[in-house]
């Protein structure tokens, strides 16, 4: 059996080691990493899978911004799912699906409306990702367009949207725009301690 729990700072070295095993040391050359440079993952959406207290799976989400082609352009906050990885020795036991279901439920709970990723449709369609809502989106680098997928946590959030995906700069864009319910919690917390 395995358990899925929030990632703690102490988990970071094991997460990095697992990602190196799963994707190879060149993983940071992938296009998705251009969206992560200088931007941290959403802490509340970082989960790990543990089996007998050993870290065997990881999922994180990065905040991103879709700048629409429409005039005037809109900046739509969204999340990018990934990286997700599972210990190769434990593949096929539902750990990956468990990580995604936990992460996506938490993202929805925080008010996220759009999640995108680059990956295999046959795997990610099991949790609702598809190509159609992502068809107007563009990554900042080479990506097979068929692998750019999206999930609307708020139905229709990507209807008619086209434009490039970019980094979510700065604390405000990250915390406030992408996850309104978390931002609300923080604002009311600040008010209550002011």
Ligand X SMILES: CC(C)(COP(=O)(O)OP(=O)(O)OC[C@H]1O[C@@H](n2cnc3c(N)ncnc32)[C@H](O)[C@@H]1OP(=O)(O)O)[C@@H](O)C(=O)NCCC(=O)NCCS
Question: Which single residue brings its beta carbon nearest to ligand X?
Answer: 96
Q: With contact defined as beta carbons under 8 Å apart, do 95 and 57 qualify?
A: yes
Reading the block at residue 110, the tokens are 């925080």
Q: How far is the CB of 123 from ligand X (least distance, A)?
A: 4
Give the x/- contact pattern for ligand X in 41-80, rule: CB under 6 A.
----------------------------------------
Residue 149 in the binding site for ligand X (CB under 6 A): no
Q: How far is the CB of 96 from ligand X (least distance, A)?
A: 3
By DSSP bridging, strand 54-67 and strand 47-51 are antiparallel
Stretch that binds ligand X, among 4-12, 62-70, 71-79, 86-94 (CB under 6 A): 86-94
If the CB atoms of residues 23 and 68 are measured against ligand X, the closer one turns out to be: 23
Kindly identify the residues of this chain, within the stretch 88-127, that bind ligand X according to CB under 6 A.
91-97, 119-120, 122-123
CB-based contacts of 31, cutoff 8 Å, min separation 6:
118, 139, 140, 141, 142, 143
Q: Which residues pair with 5 in a beta bridge?
A: 48
Residue 175 C-beta-side C-alpha neighbours within 13 Å: 12
CA-to-CA dists, residue 107 to 2, 164, 193, angstroms: 21, 22, 26
Kindly identify the residues of this chain, within the stretch 125-144, that bind ligand X according to CB under 6 A.
none
Reading the block at residue 5, the tokens are 């729990």
If the CB atoms of residues 119 and 136 are measured against ligand X, the closer one turns out to be: 119
Can you give the length of the chain in residues?
194
Q: How far is the CB of 135 from ligand X (least distance, A)?
A: 19
According to CB under 6 A, which one of 45, 64, 78, 84 is a site residue for ligand X? 84
Residues that bind ligand X (CB under 6 A): 22-23, 84-86, 91-97, 119-120, 122-123
């Amino acid at each position: 059996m395995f358990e899925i729990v929030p990632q703690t700072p102490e988990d970071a070295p094991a997460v990095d080691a697992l990602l190196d095993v799963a994707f190879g040391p060149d993983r940071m050359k992938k296009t998705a990493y251009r969206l992560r440079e200088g931007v941290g993952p959403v802490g509340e959406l970082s989960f790990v899978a543990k089996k007998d207290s050993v870290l065997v799976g990881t999922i994180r989400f990065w905040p991103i911004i879709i700048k629409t082609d429409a005039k005037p352009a809109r900046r739509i906050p969204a999340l990018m799912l990934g990286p997700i990885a599972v210990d190769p020795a434990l593949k096929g036991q539902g750990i990956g699906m468990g990580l995604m279901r936990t992460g996506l439920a938490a993202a929805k709970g925080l008010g996220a409306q759009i999640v995108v990723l680059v990956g295999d449709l046959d795997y990610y369609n099991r949790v609702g990702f598809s190509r159609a809502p992502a068809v107007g989106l563009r990554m900042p680098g080479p990506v097979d367009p068929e692998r750019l997928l999206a999930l609307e946590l708020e139905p229709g959030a990507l209807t008619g949207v086209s434009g490039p995906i970019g980094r979510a700069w700065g604390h405000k864009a990250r915390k406030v725009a992408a996850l309104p319910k978390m931002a609300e919690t923080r604002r009311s917390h600040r008010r209550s301690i002011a």
